[in-house]
Amino acid sequence: MTTFSRLSRPGWTGLLLLVLLVPMTAPADSAVQHWETENGLKVYFVPSPALPMVDARLVFNAGSARDGDHPGLARLTNTLLQDGAGDWDADTIAERFEGVGAQFGAASERDMAILNLRSLTEPDWLETAVETFVTVVGQPVFSQRGLDRARRQALVSLQAQQQNPGAIAGRTFFETVYAGHPYAHSPLGTEDGLADITPGHLKTFHQTYYVARNGILALVGGLDRSEAEALAERIAAVLSAGEAAPALPAVAMPEAGRTIRVNFPSEQVHVFMGHPGMARGDADHFSLYVGNHRLGGGGFTSRLMEEVRTQRGLAYSVYSYFSPMAAAGPFLMGVQTQATQADEAVAVMRRTLEDFVASGLDEDELKAAQANIVGGFPLRTASNSGILDHVAMMGFYGLPLDYLETFTARVEALEPATVNEAFGRRVDPARLVTVIVGGEG
Amino acid sequence: MKQKMTRVCLLLFLLLPGWLTADDGSNVHEFMLDNGMKVLVLPDQRAPVVSSMVWYRVGSGHEHGGITGISHALEHMMFKGTEARPAGEFSRTIAALGGRENAFTSRDYTAYFQQLATEHLGTALALEADRMRNLTLPEDEFIQEMRVVREERRLRTEDNPNALTFEHFNAVAWLSSPYGIPVIGWMADIDEYTVADLRDWYDRWYAPNNAILVVVGDVAPEAVHDLARTHFGPIPARDLPAVKSRTETPQLGERRITVRAPARVPYLLVGYKVPVIMTAEEDWVPYALQVAAGVLDGGESARFSRELVRESELVASAGAGYSPLSRLDTLFMLSATPSAGVERAEVEAALTKALERLKDEPVSTAELERVKAQVVAREVYRLDSIQGQAMRLGMLESVGLPWQLGDEFAERIRAVTPEQVQAVARRYFEADRRTVAWLDPLPIDPDDPPGYFEGHLR
């Protein structure tokens, strides 16, 4: 069904009765518990006893930035884990997860290779889910037939990207801003890169990067500490200790701005404007994050939304963000608009950014941004899945354990001068890479 | 192994009614204000936050030719000011409280929501009550916002070949039912809305007796009732228009269309007309249809993934979908993206064969138990999100079903038998009741793949 939004988630019985007969009064203890397994897998655990479910997220430093000479290798490895492992084929693995209502998910981005397991905590069901999970993680088969199929599917996905002007714009933006860097290519890979990948490549990639010292495990849910420790040891036990992947090369700022236009027969143009922004753990992180909230990160109350949508009706969606990654991820402004008004929209956005970089935000604007971020903070950790997202991110990027507890205080401590100085130093409108796709029928 | 799982499943299902039915477990509190506004409150104390939603029983399914999409356009204008609060103040106020807010429109409803710290619930309700009654609809804001709506349509539909295919498919599938109307509306209609059209739509449908307030979170039910009385209580009820039945004309044979649009990957949609909970004459039918969808496409172990993606490798992906929650009959949907080089006829034949198999042989116990286990687990997982819980309650009530049905859902699915799945397949999956659409990709650039060139900004 289509919806349209204004803008574009004895033990058994006892547990269940506890859920509904006793009102859910046990909040998740937001303090993150941390330890390492014997072979060096870092574990981050938040008990959340109110619901009889558990989420495990295993993240390896094994995203497409590790593809090397085979763009698409990291994603194929990640995708094919569930295609056959130990003595089980893909059908059996899927039956084992789904037969106990467990949800298994695999995803591969530029930095992260992610494996998710969501299961009920009912012991027999959890046992089946975990046994399957550790087999998939530790003993994948990587058959030639599975590889060939996954490669063909990836090629179809690449074709589908080529019929989507937004996807073309995103791809072009990364290829330009990160030319020569491992972030340059899409995690989906390239036709050439996919072509000569062999099962041997997948096995080597798995043995190198899916290892304890190159990963973290986040656990959130209805487990106590000893149950969490046992689960973590069991997952870690299928991994060799291995080594952490080396740091990625630093990202260079472009010397000068440039504009790239790509022909595409669409009614709207899709525009991305930006340049390298910041890495996770950057000293300016809070200043840039809060400043951007006012510029284009704060939804309907941001300056870009005000200028482009509310005052001029030029676009449905307009935004800006910093995407902090292991190496400097992008600072990006984006919009989609009818081709005939593309230049106007780009000019308004550029002017809005220039004003913001030159003059910054004032006391009232900062206070409004702080109020929104601080007031909204409880929403981020109101669910197990929200907690899991934050804890896995903290763990993967090695942020301090008190990151969540001190988050609001660090936002509130900012002064306009601090934010504006950082923005002026880190964002340079003269060096924006602008990608414009579409509007040519 | 298998045997053990079966035993666990049975144990679980035996226990189910004890915790998912209203009698024993549900914490939903229902109130009715004097003006006919229904209030549903579900306490969930896991975090000091609340999800508040106001649902109006109006959507594209209440529209007619010439004004299609007007429910969605009005939803946009609901943020453009009241007599007491100018345009933008709603969003600024919620933002200052750290809240998130938005709205969405569908066939049967238009809903507005805020998520925020519990102590600010009163503010959110005051703002919602204000715009239920006092919308100003200023001409200048209207002109700007309709430009935004047109951009939204271009973004979602005109430049998205699969969405375009669906829109045309859907418009052909339905003759007399309003479900053929695209929720966002046809561009020609969007171009010609007037403020008076919107005013008329607002006056007709935005009334407390056509609205449901749903609040889920760290709240006390009586306190929410009091707040609702304070803010919404003074708004008088109105006479609501009679909603005509607009029953779909019986289909007299297959409908088949091609959508030719710039694209690279063909895409197939097949839809069979089927009843929903509101319209089914036998109450097990919608649940059997839901199980049928789960057997075909309930994850990686379901038939489409197993047989069409992995075994025969005919498709890159294939899906089956059915939602029993709507006011009127709906479509049981199949979709597929062929693998490169596979003939379209072959893909269609494979989907048809999968449906024929549902008619010819009962689904296996293992398949049935897997579908049921997934439903049971999802009912628990859904409790992790206060927004998800509020959505369920609001959706049920706004299509005309009692919220209590949500608590029976897992139990109803549990009761479905292999024979019932077979029966719905035989009854509804007939060629004469289906609509078929293919996206036929037009070359994106006949001479040259998309290339880059450096240009100048004018």
Kindly report, residue by residue over B315-340, the tens digit of the pLDDT: 999 999 999 999 999 999 999 999 99
**Tokens encoding B199:** 């005013």
Residue of A81, A133, A78, A80 lying closest to A102 (CA atoms)? A133
Q: Tell me what the mean pLDDT of segment B267-271 comes to.
A: 98
Kindly report, residue by residue over B406-443, the tens digit of the pLDDT: 999 999 999 999 999 999 999 999 999 999 999 999 98
Instruction: Look at B95 and A372 and tell me if their CB atoms are within 8 Å.
Output: yes
Total Cβ atoms within 10 A of residue A46: 24
Check residue B8 and give its pLDDT: 40
For residue B236, is pLDDT > 90?
Answer: yes
| Beta pairing, strands B315-321 & A42-47 | unpaired
Residue A57 sits at φ, ψ, to 5 deg, of -130, 120
User: What average pLDDT is seen over chain A?
Assistant: 92
**Tokens encoding A176:** 């330009």
Least confident residue range of A21-35, B102-116, B306-320: A21-35
Check residue A30 and give its pLDDT: 59
* Contact assessment for residue A316 and residue A434, using Cβ atoms and an 8 Å cutoff: no
Q: Which residues of B touch A82 (CB under 8 A)?
A: 300
Catalytic residues of B: 75
What's the distance, CA A198 to chain centroid? 28
What is the C-alpha separation between B291 and B402, in angstroms, rounded?
A: 22
For residue A1, is pLDDT > 80?
Answer: no
Helix, strand and coil percent figures for chain A, each rounded to 5: 50, 20, 30
Kindly report, residue by residue over A345-386, the tens digit of the pLDDT: 999 999 999 999 999 999 999 999 999 999 999 999 999 999
Surface of A (284-303) touching B: CB under 8 A: 298-301
For residue A337, is pLDDT > 70?
Answer: yes
Residues of chain A above pLDDT 90, percent = 91
| Beta pairing, strands B255-262 & B434-442 | parallel
Confidence of residue A439 (pLDDT cuts 50, 70, 90): confident
The domain B255-442 having CATH identifier 3.30.830.10: the answer here is yes
Q: Which residues of A touch B376 (CB under 8 A)?
A: 101
| Domains delineated in chain A | 30-237 (3.30.830.10), 258-438 (3.30.830.10)
Placement of tokens 């899945």 in the chain: A385
Q: How many CB pairs below 8 A link A and B?
A: 311
For residue B44, is pLDDT > 90?
Answer: yes
Q: Which residues of A touch B366 (CB under 8 A)?
A: 95, 99
For residue B168, is pLDDT > 50?
Answer: yes
Which of B60, B119, B159 is the best mutation test for A, with the most CBs of A within 10 A?
B159
Residues of chain B above pLDDT 90, percent = 91
Residues of chain A above pLDDT 70, percent = 93
Domain topology for B23-232: Cytochrome Bc1 Complex; Chain A, domain 1 (3.30.830)
Q: Which residue of B has its CA nearest to A383?
A: B384
The Cα of B169 is separated from the nearest Cα of chain A by a number of Å equal to 13
**Tokens encoding B149:** 């709506």
User: Which parts of B33-105 are beta strand (E)?
Assistant: 38-43, 49-56, 100-105
What is the C-alpha separation between A204 and B98, in angstroms, rounded?
A: 47
Nearest to A53 among B12, B380, B452 (CB): B380
Instruction: Look at B105 and A3 and tell me if their CB atoms are within 8 Å.
Output: yes
Placement of tokens 């988050």 in the chain: A407
Q: Which residues of B touch A94 (CB under 8 A)?
A: 299-301, 305-306
Confidence of residue B448 (pLDDT cuts 50, 70, 90): very low
| Beta pairing, strands A433-438 & A258-262 | parallel
What is the C-alpha separation between A351 and A429, in angstroms, rounded?
A: 9
Nearest to A371 among B24, B98, B445 (CB): B98
Instruction: Look at B144 and A172 and tell me if their CB atoms are within 8 Å.
Output: no
Instruction: Look at B377 and A102 and tell me if their CB atoms are within 8 Å.
Output: yes
Domain ranges of chain B: 23-232, 255-442
Kindly report, residue by residue over A45-84, the tens digit of the pLDDT: 999 999 999 999 999 999 999 999 999 999 999 999 999 9
Instruction: Look at B450 and A168 and tell me if their CB atoms are within 8 Å.
Output: yes
Instruction: Look at A343 and B457 and tell me if their CB atoms are within 8 Å.
Output: yes
Q: Which residue of B has its CA nearest to A153?
A: B316
What is the C-alpha separation between B44 and A259, in angstroms, rounded?
A: 51
Nearest to A265 among B76, B115, B444 (CB): B444
Q: Which residue of B has its CA nearest to A84?
A: B310
pTM of the model: 0.91
What is the C-alpha separation between B429 and B408, in angstroms, rounded?
A: 27
Instruction: Look at B453 and A165 and tell me if their CB atoms are within 8 Å.
Output: no
What is the C-alpha separation between A19 and A21, in angstroms, rounded?
A: 6
Tell me, yes or no, if the two domains B23-232 and B255-442 fold the same way: yes
What is the C-alpha separation between B137 and B305, in angstroms, rounded?
A: 49
What's the distance, CA B378 to chain centroid? 17
* Contact assessment for residue B270 and residue B351, using Cβ atoms and an 8 Å cutoff: yes
Q: Tell me what the mean pLDDT of segment B273-277 comes to.
A: 98
H/E segment holding residue B231: helix B221-232
Q: Which residue of B has its CA nearest to A127?
A: B5
